[in-house]
Structure 1
């Protein structure tokens, strides 16, 4: 008799736990990065002129545990290094040499922790995060703030991040026997659309 009572109580506790967990389980969704609609560009300077390269080949996954509160479980992003294009062949070659693309084929970001979510209303959130940014042979835990928009079955991440080449073991490229030098500071600007 006591065993039946204990079994019934365990079933009730299990049912209550399931009722509380079910909304989160239902709302957790995986999204894949849409390469055609997403953009990523890197902006820099040189002793001759400012420059930028645009990523043509991007991929990634995002899992949102709650669409109403903007809670992320995971987020990844990858750029094929030799898909970074400036429109100038010689500059692209210098970029690939600096990035050591013969050894390191991609640049990647992996979310580690969401520090804060600020709800700005109408499906828009400011996310303050920490993630591993890997460029060449260097992986660094990097703080990145970005806007997150949820609408029509897609999630858009939009932001920018300033970094230094030397922080990622990259020697700023030089051209024309060292007469043109590239600045150490870069700004990465992205609009990532996950569907």
Structure 2
């Protein structure tokens, strides 16, 4: 049986954290490995517990979720971040998506849908509703970028959540060559990581 998905729950309300933990702990394939109540403790707990997925509230005292995302990037945290928010206006989550969040869900999400979202983000998918994708397309800095045919192929594989090794196998390339292509793609798109590159692929229908 595969290892469970390790989740860090970050929310400033203890009742919310406890409710999320109670539900997630009964999932066979998900394990809550830690909790945090603000941006600073989020980064510290991520370093201590090394989660696969961070379930991150956007609105917290002492540093919001976007600050936490920037701090996690600076700390080279490997976890993928799923934002959970009470904001219903799509534009409100754009800063979090641009800061590297792999997707978001609303706080009134059905528990089974939340578990499915955690699994999807862990598998490498990007969760955006169409309105957020449209806003990103309108405001994205990477519009008009020209990628080579091979770079487009590699980017499509990145959007599917595949590792460099898996991409190398799929495209019959050396892993070192894939790494070079990925670096070139990030540079051309003006993004910092694979998640943001995957977002570009999603909004330009390359995935």
Who wins on radius of gyration, i.e. which is larger? 1
TM-score by length of 2: 0.22
TM-score by length of 1: 0.23
Which protein has the bigger strand share?
A: 1
Which protein has the bigger helix share?
A: 2
The structure showing larger relative contact order (alpha-carbon pairs under 8 Å, at least 6 residues apart) is: 1
